[in-house]
């Protein structure tokens, strides 16, 4: 009789209750869904209106985006950098990839001198495919 009761206790220990594991998986899924949009950094810019939608077919690895804030702060590919750091990085990237296209996104209230300074440095370095991004006009 004693052996029978020991076997019965071993059988119940062999069963794994997966309910807590599923609860943990759902909680982690919810946490990742909520925090993923927060990981993408960028400036909250209000682009000026004008121009037409871009019709060029470009590869993602050929595009670098420089964002210029209203206070003269710069961001390249989601990282805050100084003007000198951005210019040096883009010159290095252009040497490795001559098809490089630089998009400059400036808020509509950004003083022109901040946008002109990055534009001037890039054109002097021989990067001739530089564009100023705007919101397309509503037709």
Backbone angles phi, psi at 57, to 5 degrees: -100, 105
**Dihedral angle sign, alpha carbons of residues 44, 50, 53, 59:** negative
Structure confidence by residue, pLDDT tens digits, 23-73: 999 999 998 888 777 666 666 666 666 665 655 666 778 888 888 888 888
pLDDT of the residue at 32: 86
* Spatial CA neighbour of 75 closest among 35, 45, 97: 45
Is the model's pTM score more than 0.75? Answer: no
Residue 134, pLDDT > 90, answer no
Instruction: Give the chain's domains with CATH numbers.
Output: 2-39 (no CATH), 60-132 (3.30.420.270)
Does pLDDT of 121 surpass 70?
yes
- Where is 66: in which H helix or E strand? strand 63-68
């Amino acid at each position: 009789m004693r052996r029978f009761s020991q076997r019965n206790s071993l059988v119940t220990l062999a069963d794994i209750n997966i309910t807590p594991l599923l609860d943990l998986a759902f909680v982690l899924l919810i946490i990742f869904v909520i925090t993923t949009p927060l990981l993408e950094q960028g400036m909250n810019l209000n682009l000026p209106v004008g121009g037409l939608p871009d019709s060029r077919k470009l590869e993602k690895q050929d595009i670098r985006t420089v964002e210029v804030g209203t206070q003269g702060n710069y961001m390249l590919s989601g990282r805050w950098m100084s003007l000198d750091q951005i210019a040096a990085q883009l010159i290095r990237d252009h040497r490795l990839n001559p098809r490089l296209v630089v998009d400059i996104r400036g808020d509509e209230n950004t003083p022109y001198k901040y946008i002109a300074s990055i534009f001037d440095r890039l054109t002097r370095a021989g990067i001739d495919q530089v564009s100023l991004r705007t919101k397309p006009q509503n037709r």
